[in-house]
Structure 1
């Protein structure tokens, strides 16, 4: 259980706890008001929080609200799908389950999601959006049991972040029964990554020791004369 969930009286919450407590209601209000001050004030009123205090919890405005919403999903995902539970699954099922949990968590909030994607796409928010996407991808891989510390650590997270972003773009406009089109899209993307990983493993295994990834990347940076 998150610390914010343990503290039920808003007056006793820190600003970090308050932002997590208010985020779900802000997201619900964002369906109609966007990620605006109006949405924040609506959530604060429902929670019985002073409006000025609520604003202090989100000094960065819309992007801070969206990041808090994503943080609540990260927390819920870790609680619902701990590593011990995922360990019983194959790796592709672990990743699929983690991404699907996140999709289920925003079901019914498609308009809030659409508006959040528009905010994150703004040039001034690009760096924050990339950092937030990376953080979620990193948590998913950690829950899935990934312990890579070499370049695979970065490539896995970059690939998963791109898959998740692409899946969200499909999800937000998906009107198929039970979001089946989104599920199929996600399965195809994960299957493609699994094929890529198998091919990469063949090229980097001892059986193909004449192929050196390090040497190859080095030559790209410092081509022979």
Structure 2
């Protein structure tokens, strides 16, 4: 097995990884469904009880694992490429492109988008997008701890959602169209960030920008509980 094999990808429970590898060929036809989950259990040579112990929510847990596997592969690509010499705009674009390349199964992505669009799973889908945005900003060294911590991740999560939808219609061999779309979206975000910076120096907009900046400065990013083993305390 290679490092990219779902059954050996680091951070993955071995049984869940084996189930994920087995279910992927079924997802384009069956979706992330009970039927696909049962077929994966048979092909992974585990009992249905063992499969349910590894993935209590069945195929939904495997869809979540598949998304997070993409995040792990993206982080490996960022680590291997070391984009620290690039402009921040290019670092973000590189991360998004790496994320789209991480999981090439377009039909599985389409089924995942449909799954997490359901009202019962929409909150989970939003959480996964947020996790990806947070993973990107953290990997790129974001040090903000005020309201910008939230706004950066919310903006990137929205961009990522649009990129996923665009990717579903991209049949170019190396995702050239998706990569170009990412560049356009990042250009739009950076133009807005430039406008915000200029607004702080514009006498006409300063009365609005100043209180907004104060409010953002009062917001604090979440931290880990300080009383847990191995935890850390955020300095004020």
Q: State the TM-score, normalizing by the size of structure 1.
A: 0.80
Structure 2 Cα separation of the partners of residues 214 and 18 of structure 1: 53
Query: Residue 21 of structure 1: CA displacement?
Result: 4.4
Q: Corresponding residue for 2:135?
A: 139
Q: 1:98 to 1:218 in 2, by over 3 A?
A: closer
Which stretch of structure 1 is more off in the superposition, 135-144 or 16-25? 16-25
1:84-163 pair list within 5 angstroms: 85-107=82-104, 109-163=105-159
Q: Corresponding residue for 2:31?
A: 34
Q: Corresponding residue for 1:222?
A: none
Confirm or deny: 8 A CA contact 1:171 1:182 kept in the other structure.
yes
1:179 aligns with 2:175: yes
Structure 1 Cα separation of the partners of residues 41 and 210 of structure 2: 53
Which stretch of structure 1 is more off in the superposition, 53-62 or 157-166? 53-62
1:52 corresponds, among 49, 53, 56, to 49
Structure 2 Cα separation of the partners of residues 133 and 60 of structure 1: 19
CA RMSD of aligned residues (A): 3.1
Query: Residue 209 of structure 1: CA displacement?
Result: 9.6
Confirm or deny: 8 A CA contact 1:44 1:51 kept in the other structure.
yes
Q: State the TM-score, normalizing by the size of structure 2.
A: 0.77
Q: Extract unaligned runs of 5+ from structure 2.
A: 216-236
1:5 aligns with 2:2: no
> Per residue, is there more helix in 1 or in 2?
1
1:3-49 Cα distance to aligned partner (Å, 9 max, x none): x7389xxxxxx994532443243233211221012322333334333
Query: Residue 134 of structure 1: CA displacement?
Result: 0.5
Aligned residues: 211
1:18 aligns with 2:18: no
Higher relative contact order (CA 8 A, sep 6+): 1
Structure 1 Cα separation of the partners of residues 18 and 202 of structure 2: 51
Q: 1:46 to 1:133 in 2, by over 3 A?
A: same
Structure 2 Cα separation of the partners of residues 159 and 166 of structure 1: 11
